[in-house]
Amino acid sequence: MGQQGDQPVAEAGNQVSGAAGQVVQARRVTGGVHLHHGGPPPLPPPRQLPPAPIYFTGRTAELDRLDSLLGSDESQRLSTVAVSAIAGAAGIGKTSLAVHWAHHAQDRFPDGHLYVNLRGYAPSPPLTAGQALGYFLRALGLRDEQVPQDLEAMAGTYRSILAGRRVLVVLDNAATPEQVRPLLPNAPGCVVLVTSRSRLSGLVARDGAHRLTLDVLTPTEAASLLGDVIGHNRADGEPDAIEQLARHCAYLPLALRVAAERVAGRPHLAVSDLVEELTVEHDRLDALAADDDEATAVRTVFSWSYHALPAETARVFRLLGLHPGSDISLDTVAALIHATPGEARRQLDALAAVHLVVETGHNRYQFHDLLRAYAADRANADEPDQRREVATRRLFEWYLHTAHAALFAFYPQHPEIPVDPLPPGCRPLGFADRDQALEWFTAEHANLMAVIRHAPAAGQHTVGWQLANSFDCYLAEHRHVTDQIAVHQLGLAAAQHLGHELGERWAYGHLGEAYQNARRYDEAIACHQRSLEISRKIGYTFGVGSQLVDLASTYIKLGRYPEAADHGRQALSVYRAMGHERNEGLSLQTLSHALQGMGELGQAVSHLQDALDVFNKIGAAGNQASTMRSMGRVLHERGQSHDAISNLQRAVALYRQQHVGHALAEALSDLGAVLRDVGRLHEASEAWEEALAILTDLDPQQATQVRGHLDNLSSNAPSDDGPSNSTVSVQSADPGLSGAHRG
């Protein structure tokens, strides 16, 4: 005993469970202390605001109204979530106002600024609330595997992360209240700024939004904006011409900026001369326009700038109107215009100089919605049909072959998929490794969706079904289930339009996998059976085997084990005859799960060992890990718990190396169950706590199950580490055996 004053002090006995970088003893500590490594350091607060607009004039009343939402005291904490919907016509300056004010107020939001363009009025489908939540959750620090797939779970995770924080959220170009609601925090401290052409009455009535409706600029504000761009010395010298120019632009900010850039680029001519030129163009278009002054003004100014472009730059501008996505990369532009990246950059720089495109990031460009529509109109009017069709085909084929190259860098073991030969002159991108391919797929996700959706209208049905196959692996691994279903429904329609049975077979097979990922098992079975029928009809042996495996996997999920075993044996026979080793291993693994469900544990172990031998031989680490996990569960059920723990620990180690979060969590959950059953309670707790940390955001349903295991462990734990009388059975669901298309 040590002494302190007159009181005996017990010798300290410290036990630290888990991993810790530094440990500090704080005198007496009672109870269990569990320290766990928090993983990589947290990301800095997101700072996603676009650059502040260079020229911004007026809007004093609107800025004051937005300031009033924050309160007069800089230290005052917001008492409510303030939502401000900025409504107004296209080109009226909604985004400029929102971004200008956001930069002005950004210091009031130390925990970050989130921004997303919801593309509510783009030609491609609007961004869904789920897609926007995915972007935000990743920006807030979640890894891909931690982002839930269910919209409600995503929204709940998002609100939980923002609770107690002061974050500014800018939702640009919203289409409907339903697109916005899941993106609203539910705790004080955050402000959400929404821009839309719609009045968003539902947000005002139901969610307490403050509506702020923009009108065109006043004549004085319009003249000031023109002077900012043209130069006040020059503008002040011709006040009448400036007034006429503002009137021709209908005082619309977008038209004013574009017109002013046109004037500024011709410094040796009088403003009045350029106004006269604009007047002639205005009169010509006015005869073709409806009674809509703003629309006429915008078209007039765009036409004025367009006709002033050099011939090749004008061609590039109108060809950009053929691109169906929301933004475009430098490499994509080079493919579209059939030029080198250097030449494409020169043309884009020329367009950016007169504000006909905007550079939004490194080698990425974007149109304003109105300019995109105008470019498409010019392509239809000024580009001969044949040249327009050739450029469209060139664009779509470039996307197809670049995605095909990215697929095999992203997933090298993927089996070959049908793709047309590389056309002469097509120069798709190459990818050095998985990370490069992942970066490209992530950047082009929305564009790839737009290309597939637009393929029927563009007459590109072959690209429609083939590109969906190249895109599938990325969508499946990142759990974009809704998009996965959508692209394969479109791919199926494209293949059916062509009467291409091999295309139909692949579309049905991938669609079945997508439905299985969505737990829509009846639809999955129907698709797999149809794909199997077509495979047999056309003599496509690989397709026969892959559909048998996928059907077996679906039957296992439904507990239909005899049917699963029968299909697994058929698939095994097919792949052994083909000499396809990877899918032979998948067939063995699938068959073992069916046999385990039927209670034939000895045969299940034998098939798993055969599968493991195959995967070891070909070096398929992911399949090795899943097979070891399966082996651990079967061995535990047979009473061979020591061997079960060894296999599960090896599976966990392999999953760690591959950074596969969800599979790692499931293996840890299984390991925790076996460790508890043999009485190793501290280790069981560690495994489950690590699994819970991964699953809390990624899969709330499974997280609840693991949390229940931990609660039971705490309440029922004996005084020593002897075996527990309460057994947690290992889950019997198969660990991701679907996807035999992917090899």
CATH of the domain at 663: 1.25.40.10
Sign, CA dihedral 611-615-620-621, equals: positive
* Of 95 and 718, the one with more pLDDT: 95
pLDDT at position 175: 84
Q: Reply yes or no on whether the pLDDT at 103 is more than 60.
A: yes
* Of 166 and 37, the one with more pLDDT: 166
Identify the band that residue 24 occupies on the pLDDT scale cut at 50, 70 and 90.
very low
Sequence-separated (6 or more) residues with CB below 8 Å from residue 72 = none
Identify the band that residue 698 occupies on the pLDDT scale cut at 50, 70 and 90.
low
Distance CA 679, CA 728 (A): 11
Distance CA 599, CA 167 (A): 54
Distance CA 671, CA 685 (A): 10
Sequence-separated (6 or more) residues with CB below 8 Å from residue 149 = 479, 480, 481
Query: Of 378, 353, 381, 383, whose CA–CA distance to 365 is shortest?
Result: 353
In a domain, 693, yes or no: yes
Last residue of a domain, one of 307, 340, 360: 307
Query: Of 253, 329, 327, whose CA–CA distance to 95 is shortest?
Result: 253
Q: What is the mean pLDDT of residues 139-167?
A: 87
Q: Reply yes or no on whether the pLDDT at 188 is more than 60.
A: yes
CA of residue 700 relative to chain centroid, distance: 20
- Helices 311-320 and 369-382, interaxial angle, to 10°? 110
When mean pLDDT is compared over 139-153, 190-204, 422-436, the highest value belongs to 422-436
Indicate if 191 and 320 belong to the same structural domain.
Answer: no
Alpha carbons within 13 angstroms on the beta-carbon side of residue 306 total 25
Inter-CA distances, 235 with 242, 269, 301, 430, Å = 6, 12, 18, 51
Identify the helix (H) or strand (E) that includes residue 473: helix 461-477
Q: Reply yes or no on whether the pLDDT at 39 is more than 50.
A: no
pLDDT at position 716: 66
- Tokens standing for residue 676: 């508890």
Indicate if 355 and 246 belong to the same structural domain.
Answer: no
Indicate if 544 and 576 belong to the same structural domain.
Answer: yes
Number of domains in the chain: 4
Indicate if 284 and 346 belong to the same structural domain.
Answer: no
Indicate if 659 and 580 belong to the same structural domain.
Answer: yes
The CATH number for 351's domain is: 1.10.10.10
Indicate if 562 and 708 belong to the same structural domain.
Answer: yes
Distance CA 166, CA 41 (A): 21
Amino acid at 668: L
Collapsing DSSP to helix, strand or coil, 250 comes out as coil
Which domain does 131 fall in, by range? 60-213
Indicate if 637 and 703 belong to the same structural domain.
Answer: yes
If you count them, how many residues does the chain have?
743
Indicate if 155 and 91 belong to the same structural domain.
Answer: yes
- The DSSP letter of residue 41 is P
When mean pLDDT is compared over 134-143, 302-311, 358-367, 572-581, the highest value belongs to 572-581
pLDDT at position 36: 42
Q: What is the mean pLDDT of residues 622-635?
A: 92
Residue 710 in contact with residue 654, Cβ under 8 Å?
A: no
Q: Reply yes or no on whether the pLDDT at 46 is more than 60.
A: yes
Residue 740 in contact with residue 591, Cβ under 8 Å?
A: no
Last residue of a domain, one of 284, 307, 330: 307
Distance CA 504, CA 465 (A): 8
Residue 629 in contact with residue 647, Cβ under 8 Å?
A: yes
Indicate if 573 and 667 belong to the same structural domain.
Answer: yes
Distance CA 132, CA 179 (A): 9
Last residue of a domain, one of 213, 245, 272: 213
Least confident of 66-75, 594-603, 643-652: 66-75
Q: Reply yes or no on whether the pLDDT at 274 is more than 60.
A: yes
In a domain, 499, yes or no: no
Indicate if 180 and 224 belong to the same structural domain.
Answer: no
Where does 640-719 show beta strands of DSSP type E?
none
Collapsing DSSP to helix, strand or coil, 34 comes out as strand
- Helices 253-264 and 239-248, interaxial angle, to 10°? 130
CA of residue 222 relative to chain centroid, distance: 39
Residue 629 in contact with residue 648, Cβ under 8 Å?
A: yes
Share of the chain above pLDDT 70, in %: 83
Identify the band that residue 503 occupies on the pLDDT scale cut at 50, 70 and 90.
very high
Q: What is the mean pLDDT of residues 407-434?
A: 92
Distance CA 313, CA 279 (A): 24
Residue 171 in contact with residue 193, Cβ under 8 Å?
A: yes
pLDDT at position 19: 38
In a domain, 388, yes or no: no
Q: What is the mean pLDDT of residues 285-295?
A: 43
Q: What is the mean pLDDT of residues 625-653?
A: 94
Collapsing DSSP to helix, strand or coil, 57 comes out as coil
pLDDT at position 719: 38
In a domain, 700, yes or no: yes
Sequence-separated (6 or more) residues with CB below 8 Å from residue 675 = 645, 681, 683, 684, 687
In a domain, 525, yes or no: no
pLDDT at position 472: 95
Distance CA 21, CA 37 (A): 8
pLDDT at position 741: 55
Distance CA 44, CA 36 (A): 21
Alpha carbons within 13 angstroms on the beta-carbon side of residue 205 total 5
Share of the chain above pLDDT 90, in %: 51
pLDDT at position 734: 39
The CATH number for 144's domain is: 3.40.50.300
Sign, CA dihedral 690-707-637-662, equals: negative
Indicate if 187 and 126 belong to the same structural domain.
Answer: yes
Q: Reply yes or no on whether the pLDDT at 658 is more than 80.
A: no
- Tokens standing for residue 656: 């760690």
In a domain, 724, yes or no: no
- Helix and strand numbers, DSSP H then E, in the chain: 31, 10
> Rounded to two decimals, what is the model's pTM?
0.68
Identify the helix (H) or strand (E) that includes residue 366: strand 364-366
**Tell me: the pLDDT tens digits for 441-489?**
999 999 999 999 999 999 999 999 999 999 999 998 887 888 999 999 9
Q: What is the mean pLDDT of residues 192-212?
A: 83
In a domain, 145, yes or no: yes
pLDDT at position 40: 46
Q: What is the mean pLDDT of residues 286-313?
A: 65
In a domain, 363, yes or no: yes
Indicate if 162 and 232 belong to the same structural domain.
Answer: no
When mean pLDDT is compared over 82-96, 217-231, 242-256, 544-558, the highest value belongs to 544-558
Q: Are strands 82-87 and 191-196 parallel, antiparallel or unpaired?
A: parallel
Distance CA 207, CA 299 (A): 37
- Tokens standing for residue 193: 């700024």
* Of 451 and 716, the one with more pLDDT: 451
pLDDT at position 703: 84
Residue 495 in contact with residue 504, Cβ under 8 Å?
A: yes
Distance CA 700, CA 146 (A): 10
pLDDT at position 72: 57
Residues in a beta bridge with 365: 328, 359
- Tokens standing for residue 693: 């940390």
